[in-house]
Amino acid sequence: MIEQNENLDLTQRIEFAIAGYSSIDFLRLYRKANYLLPGTGLVTTIELFNEALVRTLEGTRKWPQNVAFEAYIWNAMKSIADGYRNLQSNKEEILSTDLIQSDDDQAIDPIAELGHLSLAVDDGLIEQEKRQQAEIDLTKIENYFKDDDEVTLVIMAIEDGISARDLCSSYEMTTTKYETARKRFRRGIDRLFPGRRKS
């Protein structure tokens, strides 16, 4: 990477950083960013990259002088993907009109519910939609590997927090078989979510 000059303006800093990126750097960013797409509704990594750059140029995201572009843009893309999946809380306040209507002798204290994000009607609908989107993509992944027992085991182990060693000893899987299954898993996801539109 090329060293940054503190006297450059933002557009020059970005231009400078992009010029210092090799095709391997971009390929690595592209591959990693592909894994951020499921559940976001986005189809291409370029959409995510563009969004991160637009927010930076508009000043809604700040790129600190002492942070390398590589780290900054990656974190910005991750954070934006989280936003698309509704994983970041944007609204801290709920109006009284957002509260669920119920009887006066209710067991739940309405005041205690203030600040509970799921009570806002719009937020609830968005949340439901984002959850469904993630469900669709997760089902797509599970279906893709449904005939591959070893990859299914790898997925299950990751989801359940089981270590590779424990998985191998419990299912009499060799390390090589585990590594190969894990590679098949990654390569399968690469094909399932190519990160580019078909030309």
Partner 1 sequence: MNKLSRSDPRYKYRLLEIELISDIDKTSDEKLIADAIEDGLDSEAISQEFRLAAMNLLAQSRRKLFAETKIKLEKSKVTVDKTPVTRPSIEQMKVRIQALFANKPDLAIAFRNGASQSESDWVTLWEDLVEMGIIKRDDTNN
User: What does the binding site for partner 1 look like in residue numbers (CB under 8 A)?
Assistant: 11, 14-15, 18, 21-24, 26-32, 35-36, 38-39, 46, 49-50, 53-54, 57, 85, 87, 89, 117, 130-131, 134-135, 137-138, 141, 155, 158-159, 161, 182, 185-187, 189-191, 194
Among 143, 158, 131, 156, residue whose Cα is nearest residue 188: 143
* DSSP assignment of 45-56: HHHHHHHHHHHH
Shortest distance in whole angstroms from residue 6 CB to partner 1: 19
* CB nearer to partner 1: pick between 102 and 125: 125
Question: Cβ 53 to partner 1, closest distance in Å?
Answer: 5
**Is the CB of 85 or the CB of 98 nearer to partner 1?**
85
Q: Check residue 97 and report its DSSP letter.
A: G
Q: Tell me the C-alpha to C-alpha distance, in Å, between residue 152 and each of 135, 169, 176, 190.
A: 17, 16, 16, 16
Shortest distance in whole angstroms from residue 56 CB to partner 1 = 9
Q: Are 34 and 74 in contact (CB under 8 A)?
A: no
